[in-house]
């Protein structure tokens, strides 16, 4: 079954974070070295988040995001990096007192969390068969045999006045 919503959501966040990184780089700021480094770090985190969402989109399109392929956490990684990028992008303007950026960051944060829920809900359910190393059937059989043996011994040793289970006491 195609996972169209996951592809659309991953493309949306990849494009949004890439544009946000470009906007961060192009934003006017002071020429202080601290500002240049902070702006570069925020832009780099946003570009890495965009790349992670692009990776999630490609892995869904190629079908390599299944648990068997070892790629089951690609969307979770992308969401985590996206949350980091959103937080990093909102911290510096929020410290400067810009409340609008805080509200935008909160909306992006909520959108990423809802996107995570949608991506996880759209994942196929993988049912793992009972393997050879699963001892639950053998344990259940052993417990049933012990219970049957206990009941049989209780019936054989009962002499009219005893109650079931007296044999073991």
pLDDT digits 0-9 by tens, 43-100: 899 999 999 999 988 888 887 766 655 556 888 889 999 999 988 888 877 887 778 8
pLDDT tens-digit map of 119-131: 888 877 656 565 5
Range of the domain at 109: 4-122
Q: Is residue 68 part of a domain?
A: yes
Give me the helices (H) in 67-135, please. 74-95, 99-122
Look at the alpha carbons of 151, 155, 157, 159 in this order and tell me if their dihedral is positive or negative. positive
Residue 163 counted as domain residue: no
Q: Is residue 140 part of a domain?
A: no
- Residue 69: inside a domain, yes or no? yes
Question: Is 57 within the bounds of a domain?
Answer: yes
Are 105 and 94 spatial neighbours (Cβ–Cβ below 8 Å)?
yes
Q: Write phi, then psi, for 125 (nearest 5 degrees).
A: -80, 125
Residue at 101 is within a domain: yes
Q: Would 15 be classed as within a structural domain? A: yes
pTM: 0.66
- Residue at 161 is within a domain: no
Domain count, the chain: 1
């Amino acid at each position: 079954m195609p996972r169209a919503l996951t592809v659309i959501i991953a493309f949306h966040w990849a494009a949004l974070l890439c544009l946000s990184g470009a906007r961060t780089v192009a934003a006017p700021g002071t020429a202080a070295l601290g500002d240049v480094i902070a702006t570069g770090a925020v832009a780099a985190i946003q570009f890495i988040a965009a790349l992670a969402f692009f990776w999630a989109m490609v892995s869904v399109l190629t079908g390599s995001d299944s648990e068997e392929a070892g790629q089951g956490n690609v969307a979770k990684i992308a969401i985590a990096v996206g949350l980091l990028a959103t937080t990093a992008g909102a911290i510096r303007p929020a410290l400067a007192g810009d409340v609008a950026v805080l509200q935008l960051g909160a909306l992006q944060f909520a959108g990423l969390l809802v996107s995570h829920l949608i991506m996880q809900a759209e994942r196929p359910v993988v049912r793992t068969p009972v393997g050879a190393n699963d001892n639950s059937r053998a344990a259940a059989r052993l417990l049933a045999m012990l219970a049957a043996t206990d009941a049989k011994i209780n019936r054989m040793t009962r002499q009219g006045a005893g109650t079931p289970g007296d044999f073991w006491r």
